[in-house]
């Protein structure tokens, strides 16, 4: 290994530490250094298995497109202690997500619901989305001028959309929101089930309880849809077959949880990130208000800017060379999406939020075979929301200090206090 390939321990710990992603500006200053000096480098920390960090856009793509060599199975980085607990307790066998599958299973399971998330099918639910968007824009207007955009708007609108597609009752929204926040916010003392700082093992034990509650809920949904099928996604999952055989319970539960949790949380984060950025950049708000045809670009910039998927870990199935470095079989590779979305060689002026960005090949939805299944839905949800909001929004500014979730996996703003003026 060359000297250049070794990632300094302090940088490696910052990339691994969930708390770093709540200190977004500090993290990006470090990632700028990583892209320049350690573009594909190996970390050797005693509390983790050896891992490489793919920080540049092209390196992320190189690893992500070779899903035959770099396998899925993990989300964000886990400590050795947490992994040992998951193996010994069986916590890792409670469900199996399509996100963590490899071929040939991944393609087969993805195809079960892929048609539901294609633009042609989504057109059929656009009016349903627009009705919900209007409802939450009305709610925003009714706040009296100040609110926390995350807790009052952003976390609810996309969740209600995904619950509508799944076909589960609206009144279950508080329960579903709580589980999602406890799952993705498991390392955040304000969001996890214990509402306290926890060790890596305690975090995994807490996640296990969240998953158990979700499984109990969705098993009942499955039983109902097998007895009484409906035109919804829950029915598709409950009655799905792979190679002529009904999918297993852990695979069905994994599908429900992936759709119900990730299907809205990433959109919520991007929506909140957009409002945060527009509040800080009123000239960008003025641009998109003057030219509503820029809304699709605003959506793409919001995803790039927020990058709600922070990491995916890939595991090398064999020795493989990347950027002149040999990744050994069993090594982990961290796909660092926030870094890729600020890569100076790809994005002009990457640290500016620009609603008129001409070329925006953001990778906030991932890349390769595992690109987000619901990315077209996410784009539509955000676009429809802004189509309803912008004609009524006079101004928005921050009314306090926004804060981000403590997590190295999936997350974004957890509080964005704003002051708004709305047209009557």
**SS3 of 73-130:** EECCCCCHHHHHHHHHHCHHHCCCCHHHCCCCHHHHHHHHHHHHHCHHHHHHHHHHHH
Strands (E), 299-341: 311-316, 320-322, 325-327, 332-336
pLDDT for residue 1:
40
**Element (DSSP H or E) covering residue 417:** strand 417-422
**Whole-structure pTM value:** 0.95
- Residue 359, pLDDT above cutoff 90: no
Are 412 and 306 in contact, with CB atoms under 8 Å apart? yes
Taking the C-alpha atoms of residue 215 and residue 203, their distance in angstroms, rounded to an integer, is: 18
For position 104, what pLDDT does the model report? 94
What is the tens place of the pLDDT at every residue in 91-135? 777 888 888 899 999 999 999 998 889 888 888 899 999 999 999
Are 382 and 409 a contacting pair, CB within 8 Å?
Answer: no
Map out the domains of the chain with their CATH numbers.
3-422 (1.10.630.10)
pLDDT beyond 60 at 276:
yes
Q: What share of the chain is helix, strand, coil (3-state, %, to 5)?
A: 55, 15, 30
* pLDDT score for 2: 42
Distance CA 288, CA 100 (A): 38
Q: Residue 3 and residue 322: Cα distance in Å, rounded?
A: 16
Query: Most distant CA pair in the chain: distance in Å?
Result: 65
Q: How far apart are CA 402 and CA 68, in angstroms?
A: 40
Q: How big is the chain by its Cα radius of gyration, in Å?
A: 21
**Segment 256-267 mean pLDDT:** 91
DSSP codes, 32-82: HHHHHH-SEEEE--TTS--EEEE-SHHHHHHHHH-TTTEEEEESS---HHH
Q: Could you give the CA distance from residue 347 to residue 12 in angstroms, rounded to a whole number?
A: 25
Can you spell out the DSSP letters for 351-402? TS--TT-S-----TT--GGGS-TTHHHHHHHHHHHHHHHTTTEEEEEESS--
pLDDT tens column, 134-180: 999 999 999 999 999 999 999 999 999 999 999 999 999 999 999 99
């Amino acid at each position: 290994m060359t000297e250049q390939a070794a990632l300094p321990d302090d940088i490696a710990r910052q990339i691994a530490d969930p708390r770093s992603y709540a200190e977004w500006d500090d993290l990006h200053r470090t990632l700028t250094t990583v892209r320049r000096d350690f573009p594909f480098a190996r970390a050797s920390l005693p509390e983790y298995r050896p891992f490489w960090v793919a920080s540049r856009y092209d390196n992320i793509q190189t690893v992500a497109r070779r899903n035959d060599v770099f396998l899925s199975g993990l989300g964000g980085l886990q400590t050795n202690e947490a992994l040992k607990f998951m193996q010994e307790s069986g916590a890792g066998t409670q469900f199996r997500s399509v996100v963590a599958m490899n071929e040939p299973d991944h393609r087969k399971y993805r195809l079960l619901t892929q048609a539901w998330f294609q633009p042609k099918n989504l057109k059929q639910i656009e009016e349903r989305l627009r009705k919900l968007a209007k409802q939450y824009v009305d709610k925003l207007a009714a706040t009296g001028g100040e609110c926390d955009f995350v807790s009052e708007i952003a976390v609810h609108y996309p969740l209600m959309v995904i619950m509508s597609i799944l076909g589960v009752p609206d009144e279950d929204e508080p329960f579903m929101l709580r589980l999602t926040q406890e799952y993705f916010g498991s390392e955040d003392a304000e969001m996890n089930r214990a509402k306290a700082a926890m060790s890596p093992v305690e975090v995994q034990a807490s996640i296990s309880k969240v998953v158990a509650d979700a499984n109990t809920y969705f098993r009942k949904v499955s039983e109902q849809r097998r007895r009484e099928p409906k035109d919804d996604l829950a029915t598709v999952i409950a009655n799905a077959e792979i190679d002529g055989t009904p999918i297993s319970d852990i695979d069905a539960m994994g599908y429900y949880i992936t759709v119900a949790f990730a299907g809205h949380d990433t959109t919520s984060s991007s929506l909140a990130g957009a409002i945060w950025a527009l509040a800080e950049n009123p000239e960008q708000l003025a641009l998109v208000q003057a030219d509503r045809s820029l809304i699709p670009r605003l959506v793409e910039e919001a995803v790039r800017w927020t990058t709600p998927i922070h990491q995916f870990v890939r595991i090398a199935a064999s020795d493989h060379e990347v950027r002149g470095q040999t990744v050994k079989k069993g090594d982990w590779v961290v796909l660092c999406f926030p870094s890729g979305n600020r890569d100076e060689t790809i994005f002009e002026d990457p640290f500016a939020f620009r609603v008129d960005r001409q070329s925006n090949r953001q990778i906030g939805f991932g890349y390769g075979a595992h690109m987000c299944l619901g990315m077209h839905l996410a784009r539509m949800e955000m676009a429809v929301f802004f189509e309803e909001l912008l004609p009524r929004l006079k101004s928005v500014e921050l009314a306090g200090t926004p804060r981000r979730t403590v997590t190295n996996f999936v997350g974004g703003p957890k509080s964005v206090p704003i002051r708004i003026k709305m047209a009557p």
